[in-house]
Amino acid sequence: MQDVTLPDVSLIAQDRYRLLVDAVTDYAIYMLDPNGHIASWNAGARRFKGYEEAEIIGQHFSRFYTDDDRAAGLPQRALATAASDGRFEGEGWRVRKDGERFWCHVVIDPIWSTSGGLLGFAKITRDLTERKLAEDSLKQSEQQFRLLVQSVTDYAIYMLDPTGLVSNWNLGAERIKGYRPDEIIGQHYGVFFTKEDRLNGVPQRGLETALREGRFESQGWRVRKDGSRFWASVVVDPIRSDIGTLIGFAKVTRDITESVEAQRELEKAREALFQSQKMESLGRLTGGIAHDFNNLLMAVVGGLEIVRRRVPDDPRIVPLLDNAIQGAQRGISLSQRMLAFARRQELHLALVDVSALVRGMADLLRQSLGPRIGIETRFPLSLKPVLADANQIELALLNLAVNARDAMPDGGTVTISAREHRFDTREGALEPGDYVCLALADEGTGMDAATLEQAMEPFFTTKGVGKGTGLGLSMVHGLAAQSGGRLLLKSEKGRGTTAELWLPLAVNVSVPAETERVQQSASQCLMALKVLAVDDDPLVLMTTAAMLEELGCEVIEVGSAEQALDVLAQQRVDLVLTDQAMPHMTGAQLADFIRHRYPQLPVVLATGYADKLGGRAGSLPRLGKPFDMDALAEKITAVMSQP
């Protein structure tokens, strides 16, 4: 029988191991001798280090290290550590054959003989360049994001742990809330809420809402370290790990106090503009009504006066006429109030000593208010005069006093005071300048906010039917505005009302002296005057003509400025009395035409408005509508007596 030689099992195992190692391409697996020279080289080492086996066997493994690492002795320390500790593991930059760097993970194990002698080292290297670059990129991104968040100063950006404790803190949070990082990190974020919100569980509800809905957003008052409050816009987002575990919350807070205040101021300005526009519209409407009302009253009053002069003193007729005239006069007073609100009444401006004016009407006030109302006055020792219409101020003060009386049905005290004040900047409707504030305060029932808002609107009244026209405050408001001031009401329900009438001081103002009354009798001046009466309203025209005839004048009646020019072209007249508000050509335009063609012919302008006429028309003699026969005679006498 022939002997068969069996292969050495240990050699077969070694060959298989060698084949296995050589087949690995993702790891560089090779052997070093005890001095660090390369003794073997696998396919993985060839792939990412770039050396062929023939090039590298026998070379020292330090050539894979960077110059800096070799100079620092890193290769020798790695072998020494492996020999002493039984293993060396680390990461670092290595160099390929072509000089390119790569990041690798290295493991070095010592190889010992059975007798304990060092045979060499087994070295395994893995190329982790892609992972390293990704990690570096992520780290750089995180650093940049951290710097970004930390540098933001307009927003408080910080994190909370799942229980609501502050875990980090940026500069914006420090600036807005006042806490340094060491003072607040680890504290519950409820410290930023008001005491009322903490008691109501607002902080915890915010976190619960963020968890439930994925986001919580709100606005509200927050508290700084010094205790001051600010209006904050808050966003809270939950932060979860890749597997969905709650890590904490991201919280962004912005101080929007200034923008909220600015928005509130804008809303106030819009409301003031709306109120101004509403009052302006009401003024136009009221002024138009008053103008038409004046024309009607003109016909009524003029006709009644003429009838009263011509009828005999019959006791059955005269009282009725007197009542009718008195009723018409009350209508005139009502229309004057409407014009005052519309700022269309004619004011006779003069220097007015407010203190003396109030003292002068003390008896009238006491009689008007009755014995149950006390009157106190508080005036400084000296008070500069204002430029205003004294009669209108008296009427305004009387209206305010009567309102105060009605607000105190059980009696009380009305306090009238005055003070000077200067505004360096525009204050509401008041231009910069010096003013006198004439104030009247009562101890009455006061007004709520809704009533106070409407108090100066025409025809608005809280009194019962037949107890007030609702034009008192609106008249005072119009007077103040037309005089360059304003009426300011301050009131609270149950705490009385204060009405402040602001009027401009008469600083460096020259007031034209009133024309001296002509002593010549009206009958002498009006005798045989030929007057051209111009008015587009037939009722007013007929009444005006009747008044003029009653005064002894010869009258020519026309219904338009064009007709008046035709008359003037054909015959001579002594005076033209014309209405102002006429279509096609106004009375002022007619007067301007007459001034150029007939410069010696006097013109009187009759109007129910306090129109601000420009140019020469502003100096025309004016007769306010509705006028009675005495006012007509006085105006014509004054005009015809001028040289």
Residue 261: what pLDDT? 84
What is the chain's mean pLDDT, rounded? 80
Q: How far apart are CA 599 and CA 590, in angstroms?
A: 13
Specify the fold of 9-128. Answer: Beta-Lactamase (3.30.450)
Helix (H, G, I), strand (E, B) or coil at 600: coil
Q: Strands 497-504 and 486-491: what pairing?
A: antiparallel
Residue 287: what pLDDT? 56
- pTM summary value: 0.41
Identify the band that residue 97 occupies on the pLDDT scale cut at 50, 70 and 90: very high
Sign of CA dihedral 368, 372, 378, 382: positive
**Token reading at 593:** 């035409």
Residue 339: what pLDDT? 55
The neighbour count for residue 372, using CB atoms within 10 Å, is 11
Q: How far apart are CA 434 and CA 430, in angstroms?
A: 10
Residue 319: what pLDDT? 78
The C-alpha angle with vertex 367 and arms to 364 and 370, in degrees rounded to 5, equals 140
Identify the band that residue 519 occupies on the pLDDT scale cut at 50, 70 and 90: very low
pLDDT at residue 461 is higher than 80: no
Nearest in space to 56 (alpha carbons), one of 80, 82, 32, 91: 32
Q: How far apart are CA 41 and CA 159, in angstroms?
A: 52
CA distances from 618 to 298, 387, 588, 611 (A): 24, 19, 9, 9
Q: How far apart are CA 36 and CA 39, in angstroms?
A: 9
User: Class assignment of domain 152-255?
Assistant: alpha beta
Identify the band that residue 47 occupies on the pLDDT scale cut at 50, 70 and 90: confident
Beta strand segments in 113-228, E: 118-127, 155-160, 216-223
Looking at 41-55, 91-105, 325-339, which range is the least confident one?
A: 325-339
Q: pLDDT: is 468 or 588 the higher one?
A: 588
Helix (H, G, I), strand (E, B) or coil at 87: coil
Greatest mean pLDDT among 14-28, 229-243, 520-534 lies in 229-243
Greatest mean pLDDT among 63-77, 140-154, 267-281, 525-539 lies in 63-77
233 phi, psi to nearest 5 deg: -105, 125
pLDDT at residue 454 is higher than 80: no
pLDDT at residue 572 is higher than 80: yes
For 351-382, the pLDDT digits (tens) are 888 888 888 888 878 877 888 888 888 888 88
Q: Quick check: do 9-128 and 350-504 share a fold?
A: no
pLDDT at residue 393 is higher than 60: yes
Residue 135: what pLDDT? 76
Q: Which residue has the tokens 């508290």?
A: 223
Residue 484: what pLDDT? 77
Residue 642: what pLDDT? 78
Strand ranges of the sheet holding 216-223, from the earlier edge strand across to the other edge: 155-160, 246-255, 229-240, 216-223
Calculate mean pLDDT across residues 247-274: 82
Residue 280: what pLDDT? 60
Q: How far apart are CA 635 and CA 594, in angstroms?
A: 19
What 8-state DSSP symbol labels residue 515?
A: P
Helix (H, G, I), strand (E, B) or coil at 264: helix
pLDDT at residue 137 is higher than 80: no
Would you tell me which CATH number, out of the four given (3.40.50.2300, 3.10.20.30, 3.90.79.10, 3.90.1150.10), belongs to the domain 522-640? 3.40.50.2300
Identify the band that residue 6 occupies on the pLDDT scale cut at 50, 70 and 90: very low
HSE, side-chain direction, 13 A CA sphere, residue 586: 12
pLDDT at residue 450 is higher than 60: yes
pLDDT at residue 462 is higher than 50: yes
pLDDT at residue 297 is higher than 70: yes
Beta bridge partners of 554: 530
Query: 350-504, superfamily in CATH?
Result: Histidine kinase-like ATPase, C-terminal domain (3.30.565.10)
Residue 466: what pLDDT? 41
Looking at 7-21, 117-131, 199-213, 461-475, which range is the least confident one?
A: 461-475
What 8-state DSSP symbol labels residue 162?
A: T
The C-alpha angle with vertex 64 and arms to 63 and 68, in degrees rounded to 5, equals 80
Which helix or strand (DSSP H or E) is residue 421 part of? strand 412-423
Residue 523: what pLDDT? 43
pLDDT at residue 162 is higher than 50: yes
pLDDT at residue 343 is higher than 90: no
Looking at 134-138, 184-188, 237-241, 453-457, which range is the least confident one?
A: 453-457
Helix (H, G, I), strand (E, B) or coil at 35: coil
Helix (H, G, I), strand (E, B) or coil at 316: coil
Residue 4: what pLDDT? 47
Nearest in space to 343 (alpha carbons), one of 429, 404, 269, 466: 429
DSSP for 470-511 reads S-HHHHHHHHHHHTT-EEEEEE-TTS-EEEEEEEEB--S-PP
Calculate mean pLDDT across residues 523-543: 79
Residue 382: what pLDDT? 82
For 184-198, the pLDDT digits (tens) are 999 999 999 999 999
| Contacting residues for 568 by C-beta, under 8 A, at least 6 apart | 532, 576, 594, 597, 598, 601
The residue extents of the domains of the chain are 9-128, 152-255, 267-332, 350-504, 522-640
